[in-house]
Amino acid sequence: MIHNPILKGFNPDPSIIRVGEDYYIATSTFEWFPGVQIHHSRDLKNWRLLTHVLTKTSQLNMAGADDSCGIWAPCLSYDNGLFYLIYTDVKSKAGAFKDTPNYLVTAENIEGPWSDPMFLNSSGFDPSLFHDDDGRKWLVNMLWDFRQKRREAFAGIVLQEYSAVEQRLVGESKIIFNGTSIQITEAPHLYKRNGYYYLMVAEGGTEYEHAVTMARSKSIYGPYEVDPQNPILTSANRMDLELQKAGHGCLVETQNGEWAMVHLVGRPVVENVKRCVLGRETAIQRMEWTADGWLRLEGGGNSPLVNILEFDLPEHPFPNEPDTDNFEEERLGIHWNTLRLPPDPTWMSLTERKGFLRIRGRESLSSKHRQSLVARRQQAMNCEAETEVEINPDHFQQMAGLILYYDTKDYVYLRISHDEKLGKCLGLVRSVKGTWESLSESEVSIGESITCRLRVVIHTDTAQFYYSVDNGEWRSIGPELDILHLSDEALDLTRFTGNFIGLCAQDLSGAQKYADFNYFRYSENMALPPASKNN
């Protein structure tokens, strides 16, 4: 069996292709750098994170981008020996407007190097490139209509031809589909089969009413006939399902003629409570075509399945990745991410002290420009993380430690700092929906210690932090904390990223005090929490 989701943790808006016997999925990364994750499989069951597409500032500069802006809904395709990646770099989503420049990058090898971006348009988001069998190429994207007189800002799907020779859009842009009664029509993908152009879209919004719908036409320009059994996939009004938010689908045909759809899902960490701390993930379903030419879930129905039968492909597992990063390489490992910009030697180094990650403190956790933070996705509901840090702060504005980070408004942070009374000290701070607080009852003096180990143990909706001074016994610090605010749904405004676990440093004095991290361990094989309590 294949157990869903196949890409766990924050991996939304999947776009899948097959090249020979290899399968690749591109997913959204929003304000996290590098941009666009590419996962690889040969059996549609076992997946590994292979590479990223946007790895330098000439391709992607998100300095100042708001939370949940940045890279939305990349579309990966392949034609005539060249990989194409289309994406939106959202610059603003405030008020009635959305600034959504769409770009194209290409590469001969999936692992790069990828070209610098070619600007396409900015009329809406979720762009997708379709390679027709006559050699022509077509861009489709949703159209954003900011006018307040319109009841629905999602104004349909627009089509325009792309000239590979001129490397630009040519001809007229035309609305080809206005959506169904479900509305909020986005994420278009075009396919061609048996003389029909099939248009797959997401509708209902990327929350609990999310859905996949289909339409078809003999002409790429339409008119498109709506599937009479839409939606073909949804979790709407079914809170009993383990996989919620099902939508934003993308199709692939195997080399053996089987069909699969990858799609977005979310998993609430508490039953019947709409909070997805892991963010939006990627699942896969087996699909089949009916005799009259419509696409259906294999076996019937339209609800996402947790377990599906494997595909007729040789099993191809990948080696397990180590739990611990000892920072022995000169570059960050593939699972690490930074906010909005790539790391550079002015604030992060793996070579200044061999075997340590050195982070120089810069701006606060509210900053959207110069944060000194490296983090990885939380990918299991029950997990733990641990590090060892050395820092000698001499001012309360200097701090470093272990963080659970959703965005600038929501985080929980166990940090070493300095207090006029306690001296070098350890304490918990958190921000909930933008309201910052220090959990003063958690503050502990750690004297002249050299090293301090920090640990967090996450059980679904709670987190308990621990510390150990100079390799002494582990002690708990602070209460067991509710972390449901580290979820997509915790604010009134829609958010799109899951929880990250990271290492960071701040120095609000501007002196750039550094912290050295000896290792980082992330494990989904839960150990028993330490028993000692801090008094």
Cα–Cα dist 284/123, whole Å: 30
DSSP bridge partners of 275: none
Burial of 506 (0-12, 13-18, 19+ CB in 10 A): buried
Of 318, 159, 306, nearest to 235 (Cα)? 306
Of 252, 150, 248, 236, nearest to 191 (Cα)? 252
Contact criterion met (CB below 8 Å) for 418 and 403:
no
- 3 state SS of 397: coil
Helices (H) and strands (E) in the chain, counts: 0, 39
Tokens of 280: 């939006």
Tell me: cis bond preceding 393? Omega within 30 of 0 counts: no
Contact criterion met (CB below 8 Å) for 389 and 450:
no
Contact criterion met (CB below 8 Å) for 470 and 450:
yes
Catalytic status, residue 298: no
Cα–Cα dist 336/500, whole Å: 10
Cα–Cα dist 350/348, whole Å: 7
Cα–Cα dist 466/456, whole Å: 6
Contact criterion met (CB below 8 Å) for 203 and 191:
no
Cα–Cα dist 329/336, whole Å: 13
DSSP line for 423-480: EEEEEEEEEETTEEEEEEEEEEE-TT-S-EEEEEEEETTEEEEEEEETT---EEEEEE
Cα–Cα dist 293/212, whole Å: 17
Catalytic status, residue 116: no
Cα–Cα dist 255/268, whole Å: 35
Question: Which residues are CB-contacts of 531 (< 8 A; sequence separation ≥ 6)?
Answer: none
DSSP 65: P
Cα angle 174, 176, 180; round to 5: 140
139: enclosing H helix or E strand: strand 137-144
Give CA 190 to chain center in angstroms.
24
Q: Which of 13, 281, 384, 516 is catalytic?
A: 13
Q: Which of 31, 67, 89, 186 is catalytic?
A: 186
Of 316, 274, 239, nearest to 45 (Cα)? 316
Cα–Cα dist 32/255, whole Å: 34
Burial of 99 (0-12, 13-18, 19+ CB in 10 A): middle
**Residues recognised as catalytic:** 13, 186
